[in-house]
């Protein structure tokens, strides 16, 4: 290690359902953590919004709580959070309207317009991605098209974690990993694309400066530091989007390393030492959280969110551990029952905002245990599709580390092992994106010489959940049926979505 040997590193995660602050020591062990929730608004089908000021209220609360619990000096703060969201600010830095979030699906028309203006091939060549409803660029065009009075007030546009940075430090800055999820970044130069900004008529001065994730990008303002109990001038690392930060915290910083995350969404994340682009746009290609590194990721929009929906809809009153116990009572394959987890549309592999969820194969013999397990298996099948695409790009897969809330469930891990056909390991320390943000803060303040050095404190648990051969064979057969169902049902799904939009 380079830098001081005593002190704490803090990571702050602005998630979809709440903010979380985590302080760790220089060996990576947690010292203190705090969480605070905030609401999610769905004013119309396919719309998801939040008031950024609720993030700020929660961020202040969790930072102050963690700071008060420490008996050692904080050395730096790293930021992470939900990707793709659009925070629109006026000339006085006031929020113009609720932020449009990563899983908002209202921008299909704008995605078509972007593809026509830039060209599909050109868009992928520059940004590594096709136009997807969740990204930030189509949200900007939606505001221009649908709320022109609000659009005329825009003077800056920030991602969720970077709104918190501005409130903490006064700086407008972002990092390359989060910025590459806007559809406005040149993946190779790791800076905003003048060509795309010109084609979409988006002003460069509206966008923040782009840093690498381990660079310093601001310092906590003195008056704010005092009120939060933080040291004056505490350095703030550029940080990373939540998936890239979680990958740093999971040691996914070398070839062959892959993580599988089940949170609200599900993400298969694979390291790459160069940009890898899926020509059909089914996987997303982004910058990693440190210089010269990249990653590809596949996203299931409703992973843990599917299980939460089932819990809330079925009215069982069970917690997640109890749901897993209920699911374990049903046999693998659920006696011919399959669940399609397209409750918020789908990203990988279908890029379809109008996809809809479904149980297929229901029979009188099926019980709540079957339905619960089917939901969990459907999510695992979707993540399996993501991993298949990673392999199709020629990326090696030598190990898979489970992360997110789903990693705490033995059943979730075993389902992934059986579907992927690979051992699944957890990390010794599994504290999510906030942990990776804290490690990036450690690089920014000189505690670690590089992001590579942080791998030394990120170790996998010695235990692995290994595939069961018989279940693996069954799931291979069922996955082929699962893979066929989208094509068979896409047209009626779209017709139902159109009725819903009337």
Report residue 470 as tokens: 């018989």
321 is catalytic: no
CA distances to 58, 60, 206, 227, 234 from 224, in Å: 15, 9, 25, 5, 11
Strands of 294-300's sheet, edge to edge? 284-287, 294-300, 266-272, 257-262, 399-403, 424-427, 460-465
Q: Whole-angstrom Cα distance, residue 23 to residue 446?
A: 17
Q: Cα–Cα distance between 349 and 488 in angstroms, integer?
A: 15
Cβ–Cβ < 8 Å for 60, 21: no
Spell out the SS3 assignment of 6-22: CCEEEEEEECCCEEEEE
The helix (H) or strand (E) run that includes residue 399 is strand 399-403
Q: Which two tokens stand for residue 115?
A: 């593809």
Is-contact 482 276, C-beta < 8 A?
A: no
Question: Position of tokens 């010292």?
Answer: 31
Q: Are residues 366 and 335 in contact, defined by beta-carbon separation less than 8 angstroms?
A: yes
Q: Please tell me whether residue 89 adopts helix, strand or coil conformation.
A: strand
Handedness of CA 340, 346, 352, 355 (dihedral sign): positive
Q: How many CB atoms lie within 10 A of CB 291?
A: 14
Q: Is the Cβ–Cβ distance between 157 and 142 less than 8 Å?
A: no
Exposed / middle / buried, residue 318 (Cβ in 10 Å: 0-12, 13-18, 19+): middle
CA distance 139 to 143: 6
Sign of CA dihedral 201, 203, 208, 209: positive
Residues 243/271, Cβ–Cβ less than 8 Å? no
Helix (H) or strand (E) holding 284: strand 284-287
Q: Omega of the bond prior to 349 within 30 degrees of 0, cis?
A: yes
| Tokens at 493, concatenated | 């799904």
Tokens at residue 84, please? 């793709």
49, 122 contact by CB (below 8 A) = no
Q: Among the options 13, 104, 242, 418, which is catalytic?
A: 242
Which residues, other chains included, contact 488 with Cβ-Cβ below 8 Å and sequence gap of 6+? none
Q: Which residues belong to the active site?
A: 242
């Amino acid at each position: 290690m380079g830098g001081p040997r005593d002190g704490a590193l803090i990571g702050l995660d602005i998630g979809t359902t709440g903010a979380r602050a985590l302080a760790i020591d220089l060996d990576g062990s947690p010292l203190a953590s705090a969480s605070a929730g905030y609401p999610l608004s769905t004013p119309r089908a396919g719309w998801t919004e939040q008031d950024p000021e609720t993030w700020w209220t929660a961020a202040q609360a969790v930072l102050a709580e963690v700071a008060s619990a420490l008996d050692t000096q904080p050395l730096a703060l790293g930021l992470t959070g939900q990707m793709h969201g659009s925070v629109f600010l006026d000339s006085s830095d006031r929020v113009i309207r609720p932020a449009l979030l990563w899983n908002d699906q209202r921008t299909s028309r704008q995605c078509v317009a972007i593809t026509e203006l830039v060209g599909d091939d050109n868009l992928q060549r520059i940004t590594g991605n096709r136009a997807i409803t969740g990204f930030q660029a189509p949200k900007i065009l939606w505001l221009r098209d649908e709320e022109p009075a609000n659009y005329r007030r825009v003077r800056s546009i920030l991602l969720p974690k970077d709104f918190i940075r501005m409130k903490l430090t006064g700086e407008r800055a972002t990092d390359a990993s989060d910025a590459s999820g806007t559809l406005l970044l040149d993946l190779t130069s790791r800076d905003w694309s003048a060509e795309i900004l010109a084609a979409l008529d988006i002003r460069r001065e509206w966008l923040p400066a782009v840093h690498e994730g381990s660079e310093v990008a601001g310092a906590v303002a003195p008056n704010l530091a005092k009120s939060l109990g933080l040291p004056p001038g505490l350095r703030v690392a550029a940080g990373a989007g939540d998936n890239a930060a979680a990958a740093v915290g999971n040691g996914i910083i070398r070839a062959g390393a892959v993580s599988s995350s089940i949170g609200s969404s599900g993400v298969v994340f694979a390291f790459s030492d160069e940009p890898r682009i899926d020509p059909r746009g089914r996987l997303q290609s982004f910058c990693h959280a440190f210089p010269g590194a990249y990653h590809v990721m596949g996203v299931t929009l409703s992973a843990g969110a599917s299980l939460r929906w089932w819990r809330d809809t079925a009215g069982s009153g069970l917690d997640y551990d109890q749901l897993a116990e209920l699911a374990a009572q049903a046999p693998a394959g659920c006696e011919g029952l399959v669940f399609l987890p397209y409750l918020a549309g789908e990203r990988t592999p279908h890029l379809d905002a109008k996809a809809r969820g479904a149980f297929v194969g229901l029979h009188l013999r099926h019980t709540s245990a079957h339905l619960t397990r089917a939901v969990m298996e459907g999510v695992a099948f979707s993540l399996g599709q993501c991993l298949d695409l990673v392999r199709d790009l020629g990326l090696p897969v030598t190990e898979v580390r489970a992360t997110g809330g789903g990693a705490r469930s033995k059943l979730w891990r075993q389902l992934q092992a059986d579907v992927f056909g690979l051992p699944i390991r957890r990390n010794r320390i599994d504290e999510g994106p906030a942990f990776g943000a804290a490690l990036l803060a450690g690089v920014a303040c000189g505690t670690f010489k590089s992001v590579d050095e942080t791998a030394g404190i990120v170790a996998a648990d010695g235990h692995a959940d290994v595939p069961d051969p018989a279940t693996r064979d069954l799931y291979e057969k069922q996955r082929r049926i699962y893979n066929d169902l989208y094509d068979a049902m896409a047209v009626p799904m779209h017709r139902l979505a159109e009725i819903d939009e009337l």
